[in-house]
Structures are given as structure tokens and as C-alpha cells.
């Protein structure tokens, strides 16, 4: 399934940005990957998660899409699932819901 960014979609978007020491970057990415694949992906309303690493090695950004705010919040409030985040919680992170304001492409 291709992940798309559509201005008119009513997808609920959450971006989480981590600041990470470069030497722990791979550990953080692998932990997020395990958590997403074993926990998040199977939740009702989950759409996608695309994890980006900055080329300088100091930032990791998870661009996540959910069907609705309610679906996301139901997951967030599951303390049992949240407890399995492992080292993810050790890193400075800034997570917020976002809305697409506009989009431009080369052709339109």
C-alpha cells in the first residue's frame, strides 16, 4: 500500500520528532521499528508509520497516519501497550497532531 499525503484526506496525522545522540540513532530506529511492527500496526485505525532519519544522524521523525483522532487516542491510552515502548521514552521527543495546510507539486 503506497503511503500518500493528501491535503483533503481526513486522516489524523501525528509527527513525532526525536533528538538523539548520533551513536544511539540506530538503536532508537530499531526500537521504534519493533514497537510499530509488533504493537502499533495491529491497532484499529492505524494507517501508516514512516520513520525518517536526518542525514546528520541527530534527528528521527515518525510521520504517522491514523484513521481518526479517536483511534490514535485509544492507542495512546493503552498503558499496557505503551509500557512496551522500551528505550523510546529515553529520548527527547516532540509529538503533535498536524493538519495539511496546502500542497504544491511540480505539475500542479
Cα first-last separation, the chain? 24
Q: Closest approach of Cβ 77 to its own copies, in Å?
A: 18
By CB under 8 A, is residue 54 in contact with its own copies? yes
Residue (of 32, 28, 25) closest to 84 by Cα position: 32
Q: How far is CA 25 from CA 20, 22, 76, 77, in A?
A: 6, 5, 24, 27
107 counts as binding its own copies under rule CB under 8 A = yes
CB of 58 to its own copies, least distance (A): 8
Among 18, 20, 31, 36, binds its own copies (CB under 8 A): 36
Q: Quick one: which of 63, 73, 81, 82 contacts its own copies (CB under 8 A)? A: 63
CB of 79 to its own copies, least distance (A): 22
Q: Any idea which residue has 538503536 for its cell?
A: 27
Amino acid at each position: 500500500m503506497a503511503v500518500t499525503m493528501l491535503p483533503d484526506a481526513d486522516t489524523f496525522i501525528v509527527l513525532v520528532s526525536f533528538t538523539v545522540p548520533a551513536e544511539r540513532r540506530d538503536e532508537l530506529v530499531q526500537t521504534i521499528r519493533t514497537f510499530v511492527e509488533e504493537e502499533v500496526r495491529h491497532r484499529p485505525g492505524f494507517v501508516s508509520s514512516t520513520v525518517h532519519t536526518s542525514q546528520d544522524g541527530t534527528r528521527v521523525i515518525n510521520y504517522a497516519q491514523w484513521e481518526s483522532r479517536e483511534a490514535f487516542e485509544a492507542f495512546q491510552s493503552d498503558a499496557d501497550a505503551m509500557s512496551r515502548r522500551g528505550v523510546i521514552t529515553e529520548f527527547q521527543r516532540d509529538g503533535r497532531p498536524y493538519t495539511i495546510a496546502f500542497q504544491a507539486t511540480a505539475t500542479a
